[in-house]
Amino acid sequence: MLKKVVLADGAAVTVKGARSVSLRQPLDFPLPLNRTENGFANGLLTLAEHLRHASRTQASPILSLRIVGPTSIAAAPSDSTTSTSLKLKRLAPGLVELSSPLKNKEVESFSRVNLEGEVPTFLTPTQFSTLWPLSSINGSNANLLGFEKLLHSVLGPKADKKGSFRLLKADVSAQTYVKIGFKAEKKVSEGELEGYPAWRTKPETLTTHFEVLAKVEGEKVVPEKVMQLKPVVPEDNVAPNLLNGNVSMSKIQDVHPPPNPFQL
């Protein structure tokens, strides 16, 4: 059983089944936090690029993540092939190191970009597409932009000055929710049908539809919210003789619509 996996520079893996991810040690980030107003999380991507360069210069791992849950780790596919493999080196019982057998191309350093107006942003393999240690990220994601704005507001005036700040704790959790629909039926008594039209067939049972939002916890499903669905309002179709009475066509007033020049 693996308890710790070390990723060497160039190794990328895909983790599945994780319930939560948290930091095992604090992280130091430089300031200022460069922000742009073009709908792109430039500040966070710059911080991630700083972490990537710092991890290459230091001997000990600069970023350590704790992953909780029944996870599986597989080598992430590379850009050139559909599948790849990683070199595995056993360092201690329960501790392995994964490294890439291929020589990866040096990634260009991230530079600040200010886009004018509605200029589209193109995601390339070398820039704008990674948020280290994540190998794939969308810099225009609304959640990422909101987090950058929150970080800038927490730092206050210091965010635009030279210095540094330390991230002590960060937790990310995932939860699976399901929607379940069901209906309940009950017998209808005479007192519950007041105001019901006499010509309509009276129902014997009343059906109510519900929708449940439930959280999956292991093998259990815990309901979080139960909401009653509005029934579809039926539309009554009535024959014309019931609306106008039993009148012959000879007594109905003639209606002459205006002529239409496009009608044959």
Would you say residue 226 lies in a domain?
Answer: yes
User: Has residue 225 been placed in a domain?
Assistant: yes
Domain count, the chain: 2
86 with 186, same domain: the answer is no
Average pLDDT in the 148-164 region?
Answer: 86
Average pLDDT over residues 173-185: 89
Range of the domain at 221: 177-232
Average the pLDDT over 65-78 and give the result.
81
Q: What's the confidence (pLDDT) of residue 108?
A: 46
Q: Strands of the chain (E only): list them.
A: 4-7, 13-16, 20-23, 27-31, 65-68, 72-75, 87-92, 95-99, 163-167, 171-173, 177-187, 205-217, 220-228
Which tens digits make up the pLDDT trace of 236-253? 777 776 766 666 767 777
Together in a domain, 17 and 34: yes
What is the average pLDDT score of the chain?
77
Any domain includes 117? no
pLDDT at 120: 41
Cβ burial, residue 79 (10 Å; 0-12/13-18/19+): exposed
Residues 98 and 15 in one domain: yes
- pLDDT at position 213 is 94
pLDDT band at 78 (very low <50, low <70, confident <90, very high): low
The answer on 139 and 22 residing in a single domain is yes
